[in-house]
Amino acid sequence: MTNAPIIPLTDNHQAGRRVDLSSGKYLKLWQGPQHPGITGNMSLELTVSGDEIVDLRTHVGYLHRGFEKLMERRTYIQNFPIVCRICVPEPDFNEYLYAATVEELAGIRVPERANWLRNLTLEMARLASFLQWIGGQTGAFGMGVIGQWGITHRDYVLDLFEELSGGRIYHMYIIPGGVRGELPEGFEERARAVLDKVENLLGDIERAMFHNAVFKDRAKGLGVIPREMIDSYGITGPNARAAGVARDVRKDQPYLLYDQLDFDVVTASGSDTYDRAWVRFQEIHQSLSLIRQMLTRMPKSGPIHTQLPNPLHWKIPAGQTYRRAECTRGEYGYYLVSDGSGYPRRVYVRGPSYTHAVALMESMAVGANIADVAGLMVSFHTYPPEIER
């Protein structure tokens, strides 16, 4: 990342911080934490003048569970069921990154087939997460039909996760040393059937959403992120790619088997809500293709787990590492420090939602219409649970 200068608050934004509520020209509104237009457990404090937002402040803390601190008091293996809970809709990236950092410090080699299975679950998680997001994005503009379609098809993917891991939301499938279980018999056929269903759905969604005049009216030109903000705000993922920045950890620093798989980094140039939606929509297509490639090319047999030391007395050599992966929202990272004991000295989780839901949202909402707050927030695709670790 370049050392781009921090962009100062816009004039509008600074004016927003100076509003005089007693003047009667402004109204203070709270959106969330319980509100259908908010994405998860956070709230937005809006100062509006008529329908225009002059200031927005974000408030998090409603879901703080202290995971990072908790992990310092638990053994490495005890932390494994905790990490997935950091991001509810897409927990698998936490499992993978935690396992990868532990394996790197402990010098553990993961069997090849386990890497294929890990990669498969990460793409399935991406697909499920995007299907949930598309429901949120259209729902925020009042198009509940696509929301229901998306959630229904996400459930088909969750059915596959349930078969694979026993859990629909928290899978706890990727563990240090490999994965927890083999693919069930007939899984590949059932997975392909689900992919076909999702592909059919995408055709309907494209016609109903992206060719819809009202959706275009609402989404085009809304929340345009200037390209110069990308680095200074630490914006990653589809939010950056919609601004024309072809940045994707899967290509830039390939992990697992992404260097052996065929996919493109989708970009756009408009950087508005419509383009962000379009980039994510294309990434759903990419995800379907990646899952199909993996189902075809994955070794049909082989070990899926490395023998670990006794987990109750497992000490990891002192050291530190940072591993990252590309989740649906952008760059997800885990920083792990070991002091050589049986407990991590420090675990730090870098979730993209922290940047996108707080700094970016506060900046981009100023000047927008209050009816667009929900649509704008969903267009940044944020999951507040990962802000509060």
Interaction site with other proteins (CB under 8 A): 27-29, 31, 36-37, 51, 138-145, 147-149, 152, 208, 212, 214-215, 217-218, 369-375
CB of 278 to other proteins, least distance (A): 16
CB of 244 to other proteins, least distance (A): 26
The smaller minimum CB distance to other proteins, of residues 248 and 372, is found at 372
CA distance 266 to 282: 7
CB of 102 to other proteins, least distance (A): 41
The smaller minimum CB distance to other proteins, of residues 211 and 313, is found at 211
CB of 325 to other proteins, least distance (A): 31
Distances from the Cα of 234 to the Cα of 141, 228, 376, angstroms:
27, 11, 18
The smaller minimum CB distance to other proteins, of residues 31 and 338, is found at 31
The smaller minimum CB distance to other proteins, of residues 28 and 65, is found at 28
The smaller minimum CB distance to other proteins, of residues 15 and 27, is found at 27
CA distance 382 to 355: 9
The smaller minimum CB distance to other proteins, of residues 106 and 158, is found at 158
Length of the chain: 389
SS3 159: helix
The smaller minimum CB distance to other proteins, of residues 246 and 371, is found at 371
The smaller minimum CB distance to other proteins, of residues 196 and 228, is found at 196
The smaller minimum CB distance to other proteins, of residues 275 and 372, is found at 372
CA distance 380 to 321: 28
Concatenate the DSSP letters of all residues of 173-213 into one string: -EETTEES-PPPTTHHHHHHHHHHHHHHHHHHHIIIIIT-H
CB of 375 to other proteins, least distance (A): 8
Strand partners, 348: 335
The smaller minimum CB distance to other proteins, of residues 16 and 330, is found at 16
| Structure tokens given for 127 | 């697909």
CB of 241 to other proteins, least distance (A): 24
Which residue shows structure tokens 């269903």? Answer: 197
Region at 29 (left for phi over 0; alpha for psi -120 to 50; beta for the rest) = beta
Backbone φ and ψ for 215, nearest 5 degrees, come out as -60, -40
CB of 138 to other proteins, least distance (A): 7
CA distance 389 to 387: 6
CB of 365 to other proteins, least distance (A): 12
Residue 56's H or E segment, with its range, is strand 52-59
CA distance 238 to 244: 10
Q: What count of other Cβ atoms lies within 10 Å of the Cβ of residue 14?
A: 12
CB of 212 to other proteins, least distance (A): 7
Contacts of 342 (CB under 8 A, 6+ apart): 75, 76, 313, 314, 315, 316
CB of 129 to other proteins, least distance (A): 20
Residue 218's H or E segment, with its range, is helix 213-219
Distance from the first to the final alpha carbon of the chain: 24
Q: In what order do the strands lie in the sheet with 43-49?
A: 27-31, 43-49, 52-59
